[in-house]
Structure 1
Amino acid sequence: MPSESTAVVTTLFKAAKSGVLALTLAAFATASVAAERLYIFTENYPPYNASVSGKSFAHDEDDITGICSDMVKAMLARVDYDYVMKMRAWSYAYDWVQGRENHGLFCTARTEEREDLFQWVGPLASIKWTLFAAPDSDITLDSLEDARELQIAGYKGDVMSEYLVGQGFNVAMGMSGDVNTRRLMLGQADLWVTDGLVGPLVAEQEHGITGLKPVLVFRETPMYLAFSKNTDPAIVADLQQALDAARAAGELDAIAARYE
């Protein structure tokens, strides 16, 4: 029969083992939660995505609003995944997300060129690829080919700008689209390629300029939340199901209506 001191040692040893087991289980649980944390990026692209502060970056979802942003939040409210949402320059975020597990980017235009680069959740909204001219411009276009000899303002990483570059058009690429209204007004560009809603909004909010002339809409593309290929497809499926449920409940239509 063990002595009293031996029994005490045995009890302490068992407690220690239990403590180690608890810590080990806690570590596995933490690792599991971390593995399911989503890192979601967007850009300042009002009215689809916008920072509350008006700056081109944000570090928290509460500082990010807009049509697509609110749709993504409505989707995320229906799942149990932990997530962080940040706003960064598009070209940076586009490169950063690829190859990183559980990283996503919205609103990303889903095109044939990008199809195999991501896993897709959506659609969210659609963009109209529009060429704008300055308010006093006399430029008219019957087709995209009519813009072949003109200087077009765009920005790096933007799907519309990259498309025109690939088609051999003369596109002056900046790091963001915020300055392109001013470039039109200064005569540094003949046209600006951007979304039909974004152009006039940015021109007025950023520069106080109204009356931009939409001279040609040459394409329309659905936008999605794009996840890296490294992300578990089961997570992507969960998010798609949540987005479909939000749409069926009328939440997405209600969000879009708030920005009309």
Structure 2
Amino acid sequence: MHRYFLSLICLIILPLTAAAKTLQMVTDDYPPYSYKKNGSISGICMDVIQNVFGEHDYDFNVLLYPFARAYVTARDGENIFQFCVARTPEREELFQWIGPVGPSYEGLVALRKRADISIDADSDMSAHTIGTVIEDVVDQHLSLIQEELGLMLDKASGYRQNIRKLMAGRIDIWAGNIFVAFQLAEELGYDPEDLRVVYTFPDLHKDFYLVTGLKSDPDLVKDLTRIFDSYVEKGGYEEMKKRFIKSRAFGFSEQ
């Protein structure tokens, strides 16, 4: 009888223990960093997270949202994690930061045939319609100087939508991560060689992070940070970043 009750207690406790190890995550459609493939979330950021936490008994429940929705969900929720999020001064106090999970290279991309588009300084951007994604790091950056420079920002909810608008001539410039622009163009059936980088934002060339809101359990965040720090200290992240940048070099076509 005692064995029966002991076994019953174990059956009750074990699922609860397993559930406590499942991380609730959100991300957006952001290839090659994060995207849905064969019903699962794939991409370089997901690969990093799996490699880092795979040996530490953490599982993942990942949902794919538009970026703005994922951003607000993680920021305002409790124990909800988002990737891939660029770290900026404006965002610093809104989240608890864990990572990094991938390299960020932000800029402006135009059609190669648009020889009339030449941008050497922020002030040159005002002559063109720029497509941004709501709450994306470049959208936030340009929104801060929009009124001062008279920028024409065409805001959308997704990156694929903006690539289609660029190719159709509905916007002059695609704003965001350079790798994403070239990857999406290829996935949507366009020739990446038809694109060129016309401007970059070096101050935004940092890393993407796994983040969670200020309401999240600090002990959980501390444990995840410890695991990530170990991964970085052992050189795992730098090795991944070198391989990734080498494989995506076409994204830095000559302006």
Give the CA deviation at 1:32. 5.9
Structure 1: gaps (5+ residues): 1-14
Q: Pick from 111, 120, 125: which aligns with 1:142?
A: 120
Partner of 2:161: 179
Residue 207 (1) aligns with residue 189 (2): yes
Q: Is the 8 A contact 1:40 1:105 kept in 2?
A: yes
Paired with 2:166 and 2:21, the residues of 1 have a C-alpha distance of 45
Point out the structure with the larger helix share. 2
Residue 190 (1) aligns with residue 180 (2): no
Partner of 2:124, secondary structure, is helix
Q: Is the 8 A contact 1:121 1:240 kept in 2?
A: yes
Q: Is the 8 A contact 2:137 2:176 kept in 1?
A: no
Give the CA deviation at 1:31. 5.2
Paired with 1:26 and 1:185, the residues of 2 have a C-alpha distance of 57
Paired with 2:198 and 2:62, the residues of 1 have a C-alpha distance of 35
Q: Pick from 123, 133, 137: which aligns with 1:159?
A: 137
Give the CA deviation at 1:252. 2.9
- Alignment TM-score, normalising by the size of structure 1: 0.80
Give the CA deviation at 1:202. 0.8
Give the CA deviation at 1:136. 0.4
Per-residue Cα deviation, 1:79-104 (whole angstroms, up to 9, x for no partner)? 23343122222222112223322110
Report the residue type matching 1:213 in the other structure: R
Give the CA deviation at 1:172. 0.6
Q: Pick from 240, 244, 252: which aligns with 2:225?
A: 240
Q: Alpha carbon RMSD of aligned pairs, Å? A: 2.5
Paired with 1:48 and 1:236, the residues of 2 have a C-alpha distance of 22
- Alignment TM-score, normalising by the size of structure 2: 0.81
Partner of 1:238, secondary structure, is helix
Size of the alignment, in residue pairs? 236
Residue 94 (1) aligns with residue 57 (2): no
Residue 251 (1) aligns with residue 233 (2): no
Per-residue Cα deviation, 1:51-73 (whole angstroms, up to 9, x for no partner)? 224xxxx5xxxx22221111111
Paired with 1:32 and 1:100, the residues of 2 have a C-alpha distance of 22
1:157/1:104 Cα in 2 relative to 1: closer, same or farther (>3 Å)? same
Give the CA deviation at 1:34. 4.1
Q: How does 1:35-114 map to 2 (within 5 A)?
A: 35-53=20-38, 58=39, 63-114=40-91
Paired with 1:213 and 1:197, the residues of 2 have a C-alpha distance of 11
Report the residue type matching 1:189 in the other structure: I
Give the CA deviation at 1:247. 2.8
Identity across matched positions, percent:
29
